[in-house]
Amino acid sequence: MSRDARFEEQAQALGYRFDGEIKIGGNYVPLVRDGHHIYLSGQIPRVGDTVVVTGAAGAGAGASLADAQKAAKVCAMRALALLQRAVGSLDAVQSILRITVYVQSAPTFTQQSEVADGASEVLFAVLGDAGAHTRTSVGVLQLPKNATVEVDLIASVRT
């Protein structure tokens, strides 16, 4: 099965489509290509006009760990959708070099790494061994649009 087909499979499993416009929220570009490397701006769990998971992870009225993991998956899917559009097919991705996962966290929440596992799972499911990456997960006070998670990444692609 191609990586593009696995991407569609993951989208269906999440219950979202990633074929529409991928909106950005300011005066910047969603990605920059430098030779074999593509640097993607941070992606929040927005589908269409809706941020699908909001609030601090671990907060009483905020997002549960499962919600935050789902948010990380949606962020990773947005990043993959942007990569796919930039290079024509996810089969052109040689490797994901690095991801950073920012988690809006309640003061006592310490499971940022477990949240980041959601993004990592998507990258491995879609890209196989090329989805192996280095990773940092960080708890933060706030994210744009009250998103629970934001993910950026660096990929290596065939030219």
- SS3 for 67-111 is HHHHHHHHHHHHHHHHHHHHHCCHHHEEEEEEEEEEEEECCCCCC
Of 88, 61, 69, 67, which Cα lies nearest the Cα of 7? 88
CA 36, distance to chain mean position in Å, is 20
pLDDT at position 42 is 97
Question: 141: which DSSP letter?
Answer: S
Helix axes 112-127, 65-87, angle to 10 degrees: 40
pLDDT at position 25 is 76
Q: What is the pLDDT along the chain (159 residues), one digit of tens a residue?
A: 999 999 999 999 999 999 988 888 788 999 999 999 999 999 999 999 999 999 999 978 789 999 999 999 999 999 999 999 999 999 999 999 999 999 999 999 999 999 999 999 999 999 999 999 999 999 999 999 999 999 999 999 997
Give the CA diameter of the chain. 47
pTM over 0.85: yes
Separation of alpha carbons 10 and 74, rounded Å: 10
CB atoms near residue 24 (< 10 Å)? 15
Query: In this structure, are strands 149-157 and 93-104 parallel, antiparallel, or unpaired?
Result: antiparallel
